[in-house]
Structure 1
Amino acid sequence: MQHSVTGSEKSDNTRNGLHQKAGGYLTKSLKLTSALVLTGLVLAGCTAVDRTTTGSVNKSTGTKAERSIEQMNAQQLAQAAQSYGAHYQKNPTSKVAALNYATVLSMAGRNDQSLAVMRAIAIQLPKDKQVLAAYGKALAGAGELDAALDAVRRAQTPDYPDWRLLSAEGAILDQQGNSAAARTIYQKALQIKPGEASILSNMAMSYVLSGDLPTAEKYLRQASVANGSDSRVRQNLALVVGLQGRFQEAETIASRELSPEQAKANTDYLRSMLAKQGVKKQA
């Protein structure tokens, strides 16, 4: 869900994310880490929340249209919402139309509307595993985590588990504060799909939530070079490095994904926020 924004949009996105729970050896007043996890936040901006992928990667699931949606910026999302919405209105019982429209609504931050679309198609197709998985994602996006967990688990096939659903389940468990259970689930997913970027990224974000930034960095570095990784994983890596006070290294990583101006603006903003919170630069 990488969507580059600038100026006030970037500041708003970033500042809105700086009011969550701090963790680890960062000072108690530092309120950055949970925002990184729950929004897949990169300082260049991310306009929507995907709560079944706590890190930010190009998913291996979904339709081709769904994957292309995740690369749109805010203006493109608004246009896509109109287009997919019109198609959905003509075909409200179409699984593909519903999935695509729900995805673009979620990416645009219209989570309640996305949930309504998925709830309607789930009634039509109550045993369709792809629909159930997407319904769980929509529930999580709307903050209905218990229902989301139930939907994702009902979509799972215990005797032949789907690693994507396991990873989504772990992300929901993390948001419920059950990091130990989440990491156990991620390990099960990695046994099925070793080296998968989305699972590694989710594992990394789990450690960010608990304030263990060095371990989070380890998993993000693995995710950044894994198949299926995208720019947002590396930008999150830059942010985790920056949160540890290694600003020059963070800027170097970010500059591979962003323009030099964006990379510098991101690290400058992060540096100023950490300075205000009293976090000292590390060697």
Structure 2
Amino acid sequence: MSSAKTSLALLAFALAASTAACASSGKNDPNLAAMKAMEEALKPASAEERAAANRADPLTRANFWGKENAKDPEDLTTALEFARSLREIGSHDRAIDVLSRTMIVHPTSADLLMLLGRIHMSKGDPESINAGGMAFYRAAEAEPGRAEAWAALGTAYDRLERHSMAQAAYAKALEIEPRRTTTLTNYGLSLLLTGDLAGAEQKLRLAAANADAGSRVTENLALVLGLQGRFDEMKKVSGTAAPSQIVEQNVALLQGLIKPARSWDSLAEPAVTVKMVEAAPSIDPPVAAPAGQVEDSADGDAPKRTLRLRN
């Protein structure tokens, strides 16, 4: 073998030995092992693991999504899942905190704003309802074609007793989805609260004609008919969703309430209650918006309202 070939062979051997030594020493390097462990810990869970977690109980889900969110606090998907699971176990303030921090990175995410609005609304106090309306308003700004956001905004306005603004928001939502049952129902009840019985009847009839209309829509329509003194129609509509005995009791109660002979004090008794249920989103910020404008409210869970006669 020539000296040149011998030199090349020795160099190749030396490089191979060096590489093997490095690999051998790397296996025992505590820093490298720690880095690998950290990479593994920060690795997002697989789709299968996430699906399995979502089938678990609420507390397990909250713990799982809390760990996923900690791996990457800026990730929108994990923040939404974590906030939903926190809401489910009643940890509303923590959920609001998670979403508020994530919103710094995703300020125009309508999904995030809708969920934030719903969580605020579920707390029920005026300040929280106003905050929920602001979130719904921002969601409608971010996605103007999202009927759910306009409808939810209308719900927030109604709960703040700004009914004309609520009705403007519902009208905006119906421009996008004309037959949306929850929006038609809430619009009808908002009109009822402002004394427009004919308008309320019209919206509730449209809602009741939809395939997904439940008994609450029928009850509300029957109530509006009864408040107009149309008791035979009230019985006919109510009879499709309630036992005849209950229908007769409600008719008798309503007849007594609207008799001219009743005293003002009797009429002022709380015979009718309003229950806010989850509906869809709506238009302008609640506190800051000038008169005559509307505000906004989110995600698959928005509030519906039901008016019922009390027995």
After TM superposition, the score normalised by the length of structure 1 is 0.56
Distance change >3 Å, CA 236–CA 89, structure 1 → 2? farther
CA gap 1:213/1:160 in 2 versus in 1, 3 angstroms:
closer
1:152 paired residue number: 136
Q: What aligned pairs does 1:129-140 form with structure 2 within 5 A after superposition?
A: 129-140=110-121
Shift of 1:87: 4.3
Q: Does 1:229 align with 2:213?
A: yes
Say if 2:233 is the partner of 1:249.
yes
Match of 2:62 among 63, 72, 88: 88
After TM superposition, the structure 1 stretch with the greater mean CA deviation from structure 2, 202-211 or 155-164, is 155-164
Q: What corresponds to 2:171 in structure 1? A: 187
SS at match of 2:242: coil
Q: Does 1:119 align with 2:104?
A: no
Identity %: 25
Letter in 2 for 1:135: L
Deviation per residue, 1:215-259 (Å, 9 max, x gap): 111111111113542221111111222222333322321221123
In structure 2, stretches of 5+ residues that fail to align are: 1-56, 70-77, 269-311
Q: Which moved more, 1:254-263 or 1:163-172?
A: 254-263
Q: Which residue of structure 2 lines up, in the alignment, with residue 218 of structure 1?
A: 202
> TM-score normalised to the size of structure 2?
0.51
Larger Cα-atom Rg: 2
Query: 8 Å contact 1:115–1:135 — kept in the other structure?
Result: no
Return the match for 1:264 from 230, 248, 254.
248
Question: What SS is found at the alignment partner of 2:178?
Answer: coil
Q: Matched residues in 2 for 1:114 and 1:214: separation?
A: 42
Shift of 1:273: 4.3
Q: Classify 1:135/1:274 alpha carbon distance in 2 versus 1 (closer, same or farther; 3 Å).
A: farther
Q: Measured at CA, do residues 114 and 188 of structure 1 come closer, stay the same or move farther in structure 2, by a change above 3 Å?
A: farther
Q: How does 1:166-177 map to 2 (within 5 A)?
A: 166-177=150-161
Tell me the alpha carbon deviations over residues 28-85 of structure 1, each in whole angstroms, 9 at most, x when there is no partner: xxxxxxxxxxxxxxxxxxxxxxxxxxxxxxxxxxxxxxxxxxxxxxxxxxxxxxx645
Cα 1:114–1:246 change in 2 (3 A) is: farther
- What secondary structure is seen at the aligned counterpart in 1 of 2:213? coil
Deviations 1:152-202 (A, max 9, x none): 122234464311001111222233333333222222211211222222112
**How many equivalent pairs are there?**
190
SS in 2 for 1:177: coil
Q: Which amino acid is 1:248 matched to?
A: D
Counterpart of 1:14 in structure 2 is none
Q: Quote the offset at 1:262 in angstroms.
A: 3.4
CA distance in 2, matches of 1:114, 1:252: 44
Q: Distance in 2 between matches of 1:159 and 1:90?
A: 30
2:118 touches 2:132 (CA, 8 Å); kept in 1? Answer: yes
Is residue 99 from structure 1 mapped to residue 91 from structure 2 by the alignment? Answer: no
Q: What is the Cα-based RMSD across aligned positions, in Å?
A: 3.2
